[in-house]
Amino acid sequence: MGFSIERVYFWVLRQLSSDVQPTDSGSTDDIRRRLLFHNVLGRGSFGTVLLAEDPSTCKHFAAKIISKRALLAAGDELVMVERRVFQLASGSPFLVQGQFAFQTKLFLILGLEYVSGGDLYNYLLMKGQLDIPTARFYAAELVCGIQFLHTKGIIHRDLKPENILIAETGHIKITDFGLSIDNIHGEQTATGYFGTVGYMAPEVRRREEYNAGVDWFSFGVILQEMVTDECAYHQTIDDISSGIKNIVKQLLQKDPARRLGVNGDIRKHKFFRHIDWVQVEALKVTPPYTPEPSNPNHRPRPFHVDKLEAAEVRAPISAQDQAMFEGFSFDNLETRG
């Protein structure tokens, strides 16, 4: 039976108790014991994202609860890549920041900054087609975030509006690195059928080797979607505004070697000719939209991580399998005030 947060939650309501001990050292044990979990924010392939709170500071986090059993069954090591990406994210304001990570005997818990302004997908549902200046603002910030990842050897592999969050300040943050791959530099390539159909580059769909150009293709689809309110797969490039047609055409090149971002400096494209990149990088360009501040929606009876363990009353995970998760934990909270 797969991990079900509803099952966990109802076990909590029945006052289950557990004496399960963490597998972490004391460096993350403190945050582990303080953290309270509230409502579900989302679900993924290997776990669930919950709203978490540190009552001692009143700070909120998006806590990704990942089942070790599910990862081991799939032979999947992507979560360790995701953890490394989130640690690197502190170098860019356009990426969701990793705050902490720790583990128990059955779960990995990855704590991320809580971004409460919604995502680009829902913003597009609300606004429909965006004007060119608004699309240009989001596109410029996305370029900064994508290029930061690529300079670190990281390919996101699942860029789409749902994975672009809007902070309360109005600036964007790229999230969900669960399908990312790292250590791809220079002429190196990656393989694997990853991503979301509709935003997936042709070379990925053909199951060929690929490079960071796959992210630029996805970016092109997103850019076209922002100004047309339709996915690029549902229309032709000729249908879009002349003010954006050229850059979209270059981003959606089927030949990755000719694709803008891989071939040429995207920041120098005429679509961005009025962009001051220094101001963009410094978050000094006024966003076109500022979300209403929102208070997290708490459930009335929060629970500690030990309650998650209590619901998983199966045989323990072997020491050999536990070794796969060595080095997962980190704590950036002390440096963030």
Q: What positions carry a catalytic annotation?
A: 158
Ligand-binding site membership of 64 (annotated): yes
What lies within 8 Å, CB to CB, of 300 at 6+ separation is none
Distance CA(304)–CA(329), nearest Å, equals 18
Query: With contact defined as beta carbons under 8 Å apart, do 159 and 108 qualify?
Result: no
Return the residue matching tokens 């990853």: 194
Could you tell me the CA-to-CA distances from 80 to 169, 322, 327 in Å, in that order?
A: 30, 13, 9
The dihedral through the CA atoms of 66, 68, 73, 79 has a sign that is positive
Beta bridge partners of 60: 53
Strands (E), 55-161: 59-67, 98-103, 107-113
Helix 132-151 vs helix 242-251: crossing angle, to nearest 10: 20
Distance CA(162)–CA(183), nearest Å, equals 25
**One-letter amino acid for residue 62 of the chain:** A
Phi-psi group of 43: left, alpha or beta (phi > 0 → left; psi -120 to 50 → alpha; rest → beta): beta
Binding residues for ATP: 64
